[in-house]
Chain A
């Protein structure tokens, strides 16, 4: 649990921040986001990242906690980016069917 929660939160946070970007939203949701949606994804993303930071500091102490959080951010970012390639909706592959 000590690792699951901040790990999940960083993944969620980065995934939400990715979805707040037009091109990723289009690729995943097949439509450009409305400005309200953008703000909602941004809020979700930043809140999740803040919560995970807070959780890490609370659990591991300020020093160790910040290291853990940074490490989780590194890895979560890579995971989110690689997951997005699964449905990268670039111009050449936009007609791809499932």
Chain B
């Protein structure tokens, strides 16, 4: 590796062209990738974030207050029957300890097909309190997008309409999926070209030389990408594979048909190992058998798991089937389930997930790796940290682009527009987005409860803040903008626990005393982030020779005068 000539020869030219590709792909798609890493990483804590964003749920120590599963499901079915009679498709998610537990029982029901000409009813969605079996009214709990709205942004890009384009009868992916797909594809390109460009992967494995300008940024960029390389490859590749059928629609169309001719049951079963024993409705009415025995049967089959999901297809028809899913704690994403005949309660099929079809299982496992669905709290902390390292990799890469060009300038030379532009937008992108995420949490506490479209406004506040930060960065010299925005970030995160204490009763003292670590860890993480941003602000201030506090005026202080460690 070391005797490869820097320039000239095949290797030099190859490396140079890879370097060019890496640099420009990174710069152009850096914003999208940074946004995806930051918002996507929050997804590993989306349950915790939602808990914090719905303070009305209060402090909780354990989930032992829930009623038995069959009582909860019966309550859900009764409520659905009352509010959306004749719903042919009902999904129920039970609140059980662990990931994706919203603390409530969740119902989603599809409306019956509308008679000709009439407009179809809205799907019915509701939440039920697992202890009282009462429906949660909008006035009970503030309307919020929660952790889900925050992480879903990393693939639906929020404002871009989720509409798909149809070309020659084949529907292409929706715009956000397309944009995210292009960014992800180029992320893979950036990973591979980055490995080629990086000359001393092993020699510089742990190397980080701070305080050396461009060299330090390169070290930080290398460090964050090399050490987290397995994660980077996994997250990018699995993210791409997740939408493979959307990105290559003709493959799906050729094998399963398209439009009305699409065999969705067979496709869902083959691709996602899901709804395999679903049947065609017969049109003949039949009542649903009690679900208690089906739940009991599933619990007996999977004794280590609690029941997590229940999907009922063709409700009210003779062809009704019930899929009962255990939490699948040992299944690594390829969840097992049992399909029952909904009229007799007899088992139609025991789907063991992992031992099902290899295509569906591969997809399920990749999806699970991406989302960390199987991960316990400890592993999710590691996911969070590694995701943050990923965001740092993109951020340092962006800064490196401008640091390199700034370093090359001679003392008398002025930076050109391109360099100034990138330097300034970098501040607004990198620090600005982090401030915007804090603003999302602030909005959750400060927007009036009961406000029209409250959940949407939380997100609007986030993006308005980001736009404001980009504007601020555009107007200020980059070095000063860095300091100012890191100070804003410190305050924005550091004050969240105080804001929380002032506006709710789930403040840090209450949550720690009650031992509710889900809520406490949110506030503590905010403090941790604030400390990190404060240190970053101090670093940036030193570099810009700015004093953070008026009392601390010592601009002439040099390194030599600092007390020794």
A interface with B by C-beta (< 8 Å):
3, 14, 17-18, 21, 23-24, 63-64, 67-68, 70-75, 77-78, 80-82, 84-85, 88, 90, 96-98
Cβ-defined contact, B203 with A21, below 8 A: yes
Taking a contact as CB atoms under 8 Å apart, the answer to whether A74 and B210 are in contact is no
Structural contact, B206 and A80, CB atoms closer than 8 A:
yes
Which 9 pairs between the two chains have the least Cβ-Cβ distance? Answer: A77-B227, A71-B382, A81-B206, A18-B206, A74-B386, A74-B228, A70-B230, A81-B208, A63-B332
Cβ contact within 8 Å between A82 and B208? yes
Contact A3 B206 (CB under 8 A): no
Determine if B206 and A84 form an interchain contact, defined as CB atoms under 8 angstroms apart: yes
Chain B positions within 8 Å of A80 at CB level: 206
Q: Are A64 and B332 also in contact (CB < 8 A) when A18-B206, A82-B208, A90-B209 are?
A: yes
* Nearest-CB residue, chain B, relative to A71: B382
- A75 engages B206 (CB within 8 Å): no
Which chain B residue shows the least CB distance to A80?
B206
Name the residue on B nearest A63 (C-beta): B332
Cβ–Cβ < 8 Å partners of B207 in chain A: 23, 81
Residues of A within 8 A of B203 (CB): 21
B242 close to chain A: CB less than 8 A: no
Given contacts A3-B378, A68-B379, contact A75 B385 (CB under 8 A): yes
Instruction: Annotate B525-565 by CB proximity to A: 1 below 8 A, 0 otherwise.
Output: 00000000000000000000000000000000000000011
Q: How many residues of B contact A (CB 8 A)?
A: 28
Q: Judge if B205 is at the interface, Cβ distance under 8 Å.
A: yes
Cβ contact of B209, chosen from A3, A70, A88, cutoff 8 A: A88
Chain A residues, Cβ within 8 Å of B224: 78
Query: Are the C-beta atoms of A75 and B386 separated by less than 8 Å?
Result: yes
Q: Which residues of A contact B208 (CB under 8 A)?
A: 81-82, 84-85, 88
Q: A74-B386, A75-B385 are in contact. List 17 more A-B contacts (CB 8 A).
A: A17-B205, A18-B206, A21-B203, A21-B205, A67-B369, A68-B382, A70-B231, A71-B382, A74-B228, A74-B231, A75-B382, A77-B206, A77-B228, A78-B223, A78-B385, A81-B227, A96-B565
B184-225 interface with A by 8 A CB criterion: 203, 205-210, 212, 223-224
Chain A residues within 8 Å of B205, by CB: 17-18, 21, 77
Q: Which of B371-386 touch A at CB < 8 Å? A: 374-375, 378-379, 382-383, 385-386
Q: B36 at the A/B interface (Cβ < 8 Å)?
A: no
B394 within 8 A of A: no
**Cα separation A3 to B386 with both chains bound (whole Å):** 17
Interchain CB contact under 8 A, A98 and B565: yes
Cβ contact within 8 Å between B332 and A71: no
In B4-41, the 8 Å CB interface with A consists of none
**A64 with B374, Cβ < 8 A, contacts A24-B206, A78-B389, A80-B206 known:** yes
Bound state CA distance, A26 and B332, in angstroms? 44
Closest Cβ–Cβ distance, residue B395 to chain A (whole Å): 15
B212 — nearest CB in chain A belongs to which residue? A90
List CB contacts (< 8 Å) of B354-410 with chain A.
Answer: 365, 369, 374-375, 378-379, 382-383, 385-386, 389
Tell me if A74 and B206 are in contact (CB < 8 A): no
Closest-by-CB residue of B relative to A77 is B227
Name the distance in Å between B416's Cβ and chain A's nearest Cβ: 31
With both beta carbons as reference points, the residue of chain A lying nearest to B365 in the complex is identified as A63
B residues in contact with A75, CB < 8 Å: 382, 385-386
Provide the bound-state CA to CA distance between A85 and B365, in Å: 38
A98 to chain B: closest CB distance in Å? 6
Residues A74 and B332 in contact in the complex (CB < 8 Å), given A21-B206, A81-B223 = no
The reply to whether A85 and B227 contact each other, CB–CB distance below 8 Å, is: no
CB closest residue in chain B, given A84: B206
B564 to chain A, nearest CB (A): 6
Bound-state CA distance A90–B215 (Å) is 12
CA distance A38 to B375 in the complex (A): 37
Tell me, in angstroms, the Cα distance from A74 to B70 when the chains sit together. 43
Query: Residue A74 contacts which of B212, B365, B389 (CB distance < 8 angstroms)?
Result: B389
CB contact between B379 and one of A71, A77, A84 (< 8 Å): that residue: A71
Please pick, from B210, B378, B383, B385, the residue contacting A85 in the complex, using a CB distance under 8 A.
Answer: B210
User: What's the nearest-Cβ distance from chain B to residue A70, in Å?
Assistant: 5
Collect the chain B residues with CB atoms within 8 Å of residue A74's CB: 227-228, 230-231, 382, 385-386, 389
Smallest distance from the beta carbon of B388 to chain A beta carbons, Å? 10
Chain B residues, CB < 8 A from A73: 227, 230
A78's partner among B209, B227, B375 (CB-CB below 8 A) is B227
CB distance from A78 to the nearest CB of B (A): 6
Closest CB-CB distance, A91 to chain B, in whole Å?
10
Residues of chain A within 8 A (CB-CB) of B230 are 70, 73-74
Docked pose: A18 CA to B223 CA in angstroms: 13
Of B230, B389, B564, the most chain A CB neighbours within 10 A belong to B230
Chain B residues closer than 8 Å to A14, beta-carbon distance: 206
In this complex, what residue of A is CB-closest to B228? A74
User: Using Cβ atoms and an 8 Å threshold, which residues of chain B touch A85?
Assistant: 208-210
29 A-B pairs whose Cβ atoms sit less than 8 Å apart in the complex? A3-B378, A14-B206, A18-B206, A21-B203, A21-B205, A24-B206, A63-B332, A67-B379, A68-B379, A70-B230, A71-B379, A71-B386, A73-B230, A74-B227, A74-B228, A75-B382, A77-B227, A78-B223, A78-B227, A78-B228, A81-B208, A81-B223, A81-B227, A82-B208, A84-B208, A88-B210, A90-B209, A96-B565, A98-B564
Q: Are B382 and A72 in contact (CB under 8 A)?
A: yes
> B515 CB to closest chain A CB, in angstroms?
20
* Shortest Cβ distance from residue B465 to the other chain A in the assembled complex, whole angstroms: 29
CB distance from B214 to the nearest CB of A (A): 15
CB distance from A13 to the nearest CB of B (A): 12
Residue with the greatest number of chain A CB neighbours at <10 A, chosen from B210, B227, B231:
B227
B231 lies within 8 A of A71 (CB): yes
Distance between Cα atoms of A77 and B565 in the complex (Å): 25
Measured CA separation A77–B223 after assembly (Å): 9
How far apart are the CA atoms of A14 and B227 in the complex, in Å?
11
Q: Mark B220-244, 1 if CB is under 8 A from A, else 0.
A: 0001100110110000000000000
